[in-house]
Structures are given as structure tokens and as C-alpha cells.
Chain A
Amino acid sequence: MKNLLEAHEVSKNFGDFKALNNVSISVPKGSIFGLLGPNGAGKTTLIRVINQITMPDSGHVILDGEPLQSHHVQNIGYLPEERGLYKSMKVGEQALYLAQLKGLSKAEAKKRLKYWFERLEIGDWWNKKIQELSKGMAQKIQFVVTVLHEPKLLIFDEPFSGFDPINANLIKDEILRLKENGATVIFSTHRMESVEELCDHIALIHKSNKILDGKLTDIKRQYKTNTFEVGIKAADKIALAETISQKFDASLTNFRSLNDELKLNIKLSENETSNDLLSYLTSKGEVSHFVEVIPSANDIFIQAVKNN
């Protein structure tokens, strides 16, 4: 079984509003799958369908080879974007309760909570009430509760919101560790730098439709424009730029460098290769910088949304 989760042609309407329109995604086992999209695109609805909170109007979801059933909630850990805890309940009691709802026995839940609380250095919070904790502290507990029952599938909706950089990093490392231990992660966020850092696969949902999906590297390959960023040392930069422009599609650019050089973005046509360009450039001067421009997740996101 290659994919842990497959959603097939899932549609959902709320009255006249189409929240999801025949959306299909495949989440490979052991991957971190980025579910991206502008606000109100339908990401949360899709996540809720996977969690069986919302029933789809049509389409179906398959988890680990089986059609989604109610007992599967034990195999899923979900950290929603709108999240909170009972304010007046003690941290320990609350975590135990939520763990038991996920099917853990009380003793087992206690044992695992102890482990996690020590790991995240929050052991002395056990008897505190949530209202005594800061938002970031409460988020840590929510994270623990989400992963405690060791689900096959973890779904994080904006997991880093509310964390300071240190704790965000801590959580990021924990997510990566969980992945190494065999969990599959669906990760929904607006923060593209964490997509770059974490995700192997992404799907982009826009206005209830999936407009893009696949391996992040494949998508980048697909979106790259055959453009190279080059730097050439030259005495007369303006003249050189003129000369190059006559042969290639070049434009001035800027990047960080220690040299005072001519900085250009050069877009190659389909029958030109990077070697053609490089050999041409070396004939004009000393090439100090030569790198292919890879589109960032952010660029892809903006471009894909705009094109639709």
C-alpha cells in the first residue's frame, strides 16, 4: 500500500455554497503532505471530512486501504486550527480524558502522558488549570494530546501559530521525529517557509477545487522557467549587459554577493542548455555566480492561485 490516505472526488455543499468540488488527494505513507490554499478555499472542510466531522455529499475517503469508518478516529490525530481546552479543568485530568476518548486505557494514557510531559519539560503543569497557562503552553498540551495515541495519520492545521520561534522549532523537530517513526502527516498552513522545510508532497486547493498536487520537487520542476541567475565580473557592466541582452532574454537582478559584478537573470529558450549559456558567458568575462532559479513554494502558490 503506497498511499495511507486517498480522498476520491470529494464534494461538499453548504446550502448554495460549494465548499469542495470533486477534490481528490493521495497522501503517500510516511510523507509530510502540505495542504495549501488561500483562506476559505476548503482546506478545513476537507480535513473535517477526513476526520468524519463533516460527511461529504459525494465521494469517499480510504484510509490504509479501508473505506473510512468510525473506528478510524483512533488512527488519526487532529490538531484543529480553532483549538482550545476546557479552561477550568486541570491539565492532567483533561489530557487523560482526551486520550481516553481516543481509545487509550487510563493507565496507558497516564504512562504516555508522563513520557511526553517530561520530553517537552512541562511535567510540573499536571495539576494546573488551563486558564493559568499562557496560550503557547496550552498549545503544547494540545500537541501532546494530538500525538499521544500514536496515530498513523497526523493532521496539523496551522500547528505553529501561537508559538515563539524556540517552541515552534521544538514542535517542528517533534513532527519530523514522528515522521521518522512511521507516521504520515497532513500539514495545512499559510506559512510557506515551513512548507519548504517540511513537506514532501503538496496539494493546492483554491475556490473549492484542487488546482495543483504532487511531489514538491516535481512541482518545482514543473514551475521552473529555465532561468539562471548569473554574475560576471566586467569593467563596463552596462556595455556587457547590452551585449548579452542581444543574444539572450536577460534582465537585471540583484542577489547577495561579495563581488561587484553584473547581476542578471537569464531565461533560456527550450533549445538552449545551461552549458550553452555558461560557455558563452565565460567568453565574456569571469563568471562569479551561476545558479538555476528554483521557484519557491511561495512563488508557486501565488502563481497558481493567480492563474486560476
Chain B
Amino acid sequence: MNHLPLIIKREYLTKVKNKSFIIMTILSPIIMIVLIAVVAYLSQLNNNKTRTISILDESELVTDIFQNGEHTKYNILNNVSLADAKTIVEEAETYGLLYIPKQDSIDALVKHIKFYSKETPSLSVISSLESKLENRLRDVKLQEQGIDLDKLTASRTNVNIAQESFIGEKTSKLDSYFKLGFGLAAGYLLFMFIIIYGNMIMRSIIEEKTSRIIEIIISSVKPIQLMLGKIIGTSLAGITQFVIWLIIGSILMTVVSAVLGIDLMQQTPQNEMLQQAMENPEAAVEIQNAMAAFYNLPIGNLIIAFILFFIGGYLLYSSLYAAIGAAVDNETDTQQFMLPIIMPLVLAVYIGIFTVIEDPHGTVSTIFSFIPFTSPVVMLMRIPFGVPIWQQVLSFLLLVGTFMLTVWFAAKIYRVGILMYGKKPSYKELIKWIKY
């Protein structure tokens, strides 16, 4: 008799109707958005202040490079001594004073440029000032050596190496960022999903044990059906929660930014100065490139691989969580068994972040994209960079094989464990249970 649908339905409904689940589902995105809004609002308040930087340029080489921006104003001081200038700036309580002395050579000059301020100035302000000065002084030096700056500018060439794989797929540097972004997002999502909902499965099994209903149920249902029903039901509840989070999150995001007039992605003065520092006339081209890069991703492959590896990886781990839940009596006893589960997951994420990015087809990445406990995360991170289909298929088959093995193993532990009350088993006992 197949009771699986009935069990899935009950597991799903009890999870979804649970008060704390509902509250979490609704409250989490609200809290997140409120936090983001508060932070954005506060930093906006902070950044609306216009910074005024006074310039005392005795060398008279750089005065004209300081153009007022939206959030940064420059106040050029003339014919005052350094001591007077310091007093003026201090009394005016402006941001600070940049002092450029007169020296014989530029090399001597750079050693004596100073910034005076009441408090330590922000790093971005200093680096933007530095880059402004560097550019100007380089030009001055070039002119001293008799080089025509216009000709130099004209001779500048922008090289953007077009990348193409042997089978003709065009790629670019930007592509790599997209691939990286997708890989990281997919890997991290899986990681979070396993931890959150794996724990939920474990708790619901422990609950069945502590409420002593388990024996009543398994006198009508096979333990493996109950276990699978729990895993699938909880996962569906998890997906529901995720989708609701996405929907509420995006609605709130729009509403909050519209109502409060806060652009959550707004430009800060820091960004503004940095952009000025690295003038980029090809912004429009970059956006086009970005679109192209996005369409260059192997989207069909990505989606299919994402679904398969996500399900496979999730089921693999959740069956282990189920086994742990069955083996223990209460949540505090789960600690010793959690470590071996969390370890490969964390390892997978680290390999993903540090190795796959560096060398997506290197030995380490390749090996770990085949080991079933790390393959879902690592393979998902590798696939955007183009993994041969046979590797994907082999890795997935290994994953499915291991999944069946862990389900068998978990079911054994589950079958024995759910009827064991009041003792905390050791690993040795767990191995023995498999033989029962």
C-alpha cells in the first residue's frame, strides 16, 4: 500500500500551518528589508553632508585639478601661510586641509604633501586625492621631459582580448564574473537549503520519537516510506517558504524604496569619487557586454544541472539528517553526529570559493566535483565555466548511487533508531544497528 502521498501531505500541511513557520516566513523578509532600509537610510543621511576640502597649493601645479563634485567641494586658499590656513580650516570646521608645498623638484614635492584634519580622514577620500595628484604630477613630469600630452593621449589604445573557445563560444572577462556569480549563488543556496531544512527534518523525526507516536505509525507504514515522506514533505514546505520569501522580499524592496525615496542601490560620495578617479568612457559598451555575457551562459545546461544536482545533493544530506534524528532522543544529543555532515558541506563551499574561481578545471576542482558529498556544490560552481556533459552525467550518477546508499543506510538506522528510547548511541552502535 502506498501511503507516501498521504504522509507527504500531512508533513507539508503541519509544517506550513505551524505558527512559528508562518511567522518566520512572513517576518524574515520584512526584518531583512527593514534592516537594509535602515542601513541605507542612515548611510544616506551620513553621506548627504557635503565635504569641503581646503587646498593650499604653494607649488601652483595642481590647483586646477580640484573640480567641485556633488558631495565634495574644494576651497582653494591663496596667499596664506600654512599656519594661517590651518587656523582657518580648523575654525571653519570643514573636512580638512590638503597642503602642497613649493619644492624644487616633483620628487621632493611628493614627500611633503600633507593632509590636515581633525579626525582621521576616510580612506576613500585620501586615495581619491592621491590618484588625482599622481595623474597630474605624472603629466607635469612628462611635460618636463618634452612629451606632448595630446599625442600621448591619442596614442593610448584600449585592448580588450576577445576570448573564444575552440568550439566557437565567445567568452569575455565579464562572462567569468557572471559565471562566478551564478556558481556562487547556486552553491550557497544549496548549502543554506540543506542546513535549514535538513535540520527541520531532523527535528520533526525527533518530535515523533519524543511524542511516542512513531510505533503507532510504523505499524501501518513502512519506515522508509515515512522517512521519504518526511523528507519530501519538508522539502516542499521549504520551497514554499523560499518562494514566499522571494515574493515578499521583492515586493517590499520596491515598496520601501518608492515610499521612503531611498534608492537602495544609490551612489554614495565614495563611489562618485572613485568613478571620477577611474574615468571610464565605455560604460555603455560595458552594459552591452554584460547582456551578451549573460546570454553566453549555457543557460539550458545550467538550469537542468541546477535542478538535478540541487535535488540530488539535498536528498543525500537530508537522508543523513533523518538518520541522525532517528538515532537520538533529543536535539542536544545531535551535536556529535552533526560535525561529519557539516564538514564536507563547508569543505565544498570553500573549494568552490577558493579553487573553482581560480581554476575551474584544475585537478582539485575536478576531483571534488565527482565526490558525491561535495559534488553538488562544486559541480554547480564549475558548470557555468563549461563542463563536458560526460563529466556532469558521471558525477550525477555517482551522486544518485551514493544517495541510494545513504537512503538505505539511513533507513536501516531509522528503522532501529526510532524504536530506541532513552539512550544516546555511539557510532559503534549505529554500525551494529545496520546489521539488525
Contacts and interface: CB of A to CB of B under 8 A. Distances in A.
Interface of A: 14-15, 48, 51-53, 70-71, 73-74, 76, 78-80, 82-89, 97-98, 100-103, 142, 145
B219 A84 contact: no
Interface string B416-435: 00010100000000001001
Contacts of A86: 14, 207-208, 211, 213
B39 to A, nearest CB: 37
Contacts of B419: 48, 53
Contacts, number: 70
B222 interface: yes
Contacts of A102: 220
Given A53-B219, A84-B213, A85-B216, 15 more contacts: A73-B219, A73-B220, A74-B1, A78-B216, A78-B219, A83-B213, A84-B211, A86-B208, A88-B14, A89-B14, A101-B3, A101-B217, A101-B220, A102-B220, A145-B216
B10 A97 contact: yes
Contacts of A71: 1
Contacts of A97: 6, 10
Contacts of B221: 73, 101
A82 B211 contact: no
Contacts of A74: 1, 220
Interface residues of B, number: 25
B436 interface: yes
A14 B436 contact: yes
Chain A to chain B: the 8 pairs with minimum beta-carbon distance, closest first: A84-B212, A80-B215, A78-B219, A84-B211, A101-B220, A51-B219, A84-B213, A82-B212
Contact of B6 (A53, A78, A101): A101
B18 interface: yes
Nearest to B208: A86
Contacts of A100: 3, 6
A102 B221 CA distance: 8
Nearest to A145: B216
Given A51-B219, A53-B419, A89-B14, A70 B1 contact: yes
B329 to A, nearest CB: 12
A98 B217 contact: yes
Given A53-B219, A98-B217, A103-B1, A83 B212 contact: yes
Nearest to B222: A70
Contact of B215 (A14, A82, A87, A145): A82
Contacts of B7: 101
Contacts of B222: 70
B404 to A, nearest CB: 20
B347 interface: no
A241 B211 CA distance: 61
B270 to A, nearest CB: 51
Contacts of A78: 215-216, 219
A74 B435 CA distance: 28
17 contacts: A52-B219, A73-B1, A73-B220, A74-B220, A78-B215, A80-B216, A82-B212, A82-B215, A83-B216, A84-B213, A86-B207, A87-B211, A97-B10, A101-B217, A102-B220, A103-B1, A145-B216
B222 to A, nearest CB: 7
A82 B3 CA distance: 23
Contacts of B215: 53, 78, 80, 82-83
Nearest to A13: B436
Interface string B386-414: 00000000000000000000000000000
Contacts of B1: 70-71, 73-74, 103
B209 to A, nearest CB: 9
Nearest to B7: A101
A71 B221 CA distance: 10
Contacts of B432: 15
A88 B18 contact: yes
Contacts of A85: 211, 213, 216
Contacts of A88: 14, 18
B180 to A, nearest CB: 44
Contacts of B208: 86
A76 B220 CA distance: 9
Nearest to B432: A15
B387 to A, nearest CB: 43
A141 B432 CA distance: 36
B218 interface: yes
Contacts of A53: 215, 218-219, 419
A98 B216 contact: yes
A82 B432 CA distance: 23
A76 B218 CA distance: 12
Contacts of A103: 1, 220
Interface string B1-31: 1010011001000100010000000000000
A84 B216 CA distance: 8
Contact of A15 (B18, B216, B435): B435
A267 B433 CA distance: 53
Interface in B61-94: none
A98 B212 contact: no
A260 B212 CA distance: 55
Nearest to A87: B211
Interface string B220-235: 1110000000000000
A98 B1 CA distance: 14
A85 B216 CA distance: 9
A53 B220 CA distance: 9
